Amino acid sequence: MKFFCKLKPSTKEILQVRVIGDDVAGEDMSVQGEQHCANTYGGEWKQCSKDGSFRKWYPGIGWFYRDDLDAFVAPQPYPSWTLNTTTCVWDPPTPKPFDSNNTLDYTWNEDTQSWDQLTVEISDPE
Protein backbone atom coordinates (compact mmCIF):
# COMPACT_ATOMS: atom_id res chain seq x y z
CA MET A 1 0.00 0.00 0.00
CA LYS A 2 1.20 3.46 -0.89
CA PHE A 3 -0.15 6.87 0.13
CA PHE A 4 -0.79 9.83 -2.17
CA CYS A 5 -1.89 13.40 -1.48
CA LYS A 6 -4.03 15.57 -3.74
CA LEU A 7 -2.70 19.13 -3.92
CA LYS A 8 -4.67 22.34 -4.29
CA PRO A 9 -3.31 23.92 -7.50
CA SER A 10 -2.69 27.45 -6.25
CA THR A 11 -1.18 26.73 -2.83
CA LYS A 12 -0.20 23.02 -2.89
CA GLU A 13 -2.33 22.54 0.24
CA ILE A 14 -3.18 18.90 0.94
CA LEU A 15 -6.84 18.34 0.07
CA GLN A 16 -7.05 14.59 0.56
CA VAL A 17 -4.92 11.49 1.11
CA ARG A 18 -5.59 8.22 -0.68
CA VAL A 19 -4.23 4.72 -0.31
CA ILE A 20 -3.33 2.92 -3.54
CA GLY A 21 -2.34 -0.71 -3.94
CA ASP A 22 1.28 -1.54 -4.75
CA ASP A 23 0.25 -3.21 -8.01
CA VAL A 24 -1.04 0.14 -9.31
CA ALA A 25 1.27 2.53 -7.44
CA GLY A 26 4.60 1.05 -8.51
CA GLU A 27 7.83 1.69 -6.63
CA ASP A 28 8.26 4.40 -4.01
CA MET A 29 8.92 7.83 -5.49
CA SER A 30 8.10 6.72 -9.04
CA VAL A 31 5.69 8.82 -11.05
CA GLN A 32 3.52 5.79 -11.77
CA GLY A 33 1.31 6.12 -8.68
CA GLU A 34 1.09 9.91 -8.93
CA GLN A 35 0.08 9.62 -12.59
CA HIS A 36 -2.49 6.93 -11.75
CA CYS A 37 -4.08 9.22 -9.14
CA ALA A 38 -4.10 12.18 -11.55
CA ASN A 39 -5.71 10.11 -14.30
CA THR A 40 -8.26 8.50 -11.97
CA TYR A 41 -9.15 11.35 -9.59
CA GLY A 42 -7.88 14.46 -11.39
CA GLY A 43 -5.50 17.13 -10.15
CA GLU A 44 -1.89 16.98 -8.99
CA TRP A 45 -0.77 14.23 -6.60
CA LYS A 46 2.39 13.58 -4.57
CA GLN A 47 3.36 10.38 -2.85
CA CYS A 48 3.94 10.48 0.90
CA SER A 49 5.28 7.92 3.34
CA LYS A 50 3.68 6.87 6.62
CA ASP A 51 7.09 6.58 8.29
CA GLY A 52 8.57 9.81 6.91
CA SER A 53 11.25 7.93 4.98
CA PHE A 54 10.86 10.45 2.17
CA ARG A 55 9.38 13.94 1.90
CA LYS A 56 10.00 14.39 5.67
CA TRP A 57 6.51 13.90 7.14
CA TYR A 58 3.25 12.07 6.65
CA PRO A 59 0.92 15.02 6.01
CA GLY A 60 -2.63 15.66 7.03
CA ILE A 61 -5.38 17.64 5.39
CA GLY A 62 -4.40 21.32 5.48
CA TRP A 63 -0.65 20.66 5.33
CA PHE A 64 1.37 21.87 2.32
CA TYR A 65 3.73 20.37 -0.20
CA ARG A 66 6.85 22.48 -0.78
CA ASP A 67 8.44 21.97 -4.21
CA ASP A 68 11.62 23.76 -3.14
CA LEU A 69 12.13 21.29 -0.27
CA ASP A 70 10.41 18.25 -1.83
CA ALA A 71 8.71 17.89 1.53
CA PHE A 72 5.40 18.14 3.33
CA VAL A 73 5.10 20.93 5.88
CA ALA A 74 2.50 21.61 8.57
CA PRO A 75 0.71 24.97 8.49
CA GLN A 76 2.64 27.78 10.16
CA PRO A 77 1.42 27.83 13.79
CA TYR A 78 2.24 31.51 14.47
CA PRO A 79 3.42 34.39 12.26
CA SER A 80 6.66 34.76 14.25
CA TRP A 81 7.75 31.13 13.77
CA THR A 82 10.20 30.26 10.99
CA LEU A 83 10.49 27.10 8.98
CA ASN A 84 13.62 25.04 9.57
CA THR A 85 14.34 23.95 6.00
CA THR A 86 16.41 20.97 7.18
CA THR A 87 13.81 19.40 9.48
CA CYS A 88 10.73 21.02 7.87
CA VAL A 89 9.46 21.91 11.35
CA TRP A 90 8.37 25.39 12.44
CA ASP A 91 10.71 26.87 15.07
CA PRO A 92 9.62 29.49 17.61
CA PRO A 93 11.73 32.65 18.06
CA THR A 94 12.84 31.30 21.45
CA PRO A 95 13.06 27.63 22.42
CA LYS A 96 10.38 26.13 24.63
CA PRO A 97 11.58 25.94 28.26
CA PHE A 98 12.92 22.56 29.29
CA ASP A 99 11.36 20.86 32.29
CA SER A 100 13.50 17.93 33.45
CA ASN A 101 10.70 16.67 35.72
CA ASN A 102 8.16 16.76 32.91
CA THR A 103 5.60 18.34 35.22
CA LEU A 104 5.22 21.74 33.57
CA ASP A 105 3.68 22.66 30.27
CA TYR A 106 3.93 25.82 28.24
CA THR A 107 1.99 27.56 25.51
CA TRP A 108 3.30 30.09 23.01
CA ASN A 109 2.15 33.70 23.50
CA GLU A 110 2.38 35.47 20.15
CA ASP A 111 1.68 38.89 21.69
CA THR A 112 4.67 38.76 24.02
CA GLN A 113 6.78 36.47 21.82
CA SER A 114 7.41 34.22 24.79
CA TRP A 115 6.32 30.99 26.45
CA ASP A 116 3.64 31.12 29.15
CA GLN A 117 3.58 28.40 31.77
CA LEU A 118 0.22 26.67 31.94
CA THR A 119 -1.30 26.27 35.35
CA VAL A 120 -3.64 23.50 36.28
CA GLU A 121 -6.26 24.21 38.88
CA ILE A 122 -7.53 21.22 40.78
CA SER A 123 -10.83 21.80 42.46
CA ASP A 124 -12.35 19.81 45.26
CA PRO A 125 -15.59 18.23 44.00
CA GLU A 126 -17.32 18.88 47.33
Contact 32, 39 (CB under 8 A): no
pLDDT at res. 8: 97
Query: CB neighbours of 105 closer than 8 A, spacing ≥ 6?
Result: 99, 117, 118
pLDDT in tens, 55-72: 999 999 999 999 999 999
Q: What pLDDT tens digit does each residue of the chain (126 aa) get?
A: 999 999 999 999 999 999 999 888 888 888 899 999 999 999 999 999 999 899 999 999 999 999 999 999 999 999 999 999 999 999 999 999 988 887 889 999 999 999 999 887 666 666
Burial 17-51 (b: 16+ CB within 10 A, else e): beebeeeebbeebeeebbebbeeeeeeebbbbbee
pLDDT in tens, 21-32: 988 888 888 889
Contact 88, 57 (CB under 8 A): yes
Using only C-alpha atoms, the chain has a radius of gyration, in whole angstroms, of 19
Cα gap 37→5, rounded to integer Å: 9
**Per-domain residue ranges for the chain?**
2-75
pTM of the predicted model as reported, rounded to 2 decimal places: 0.83
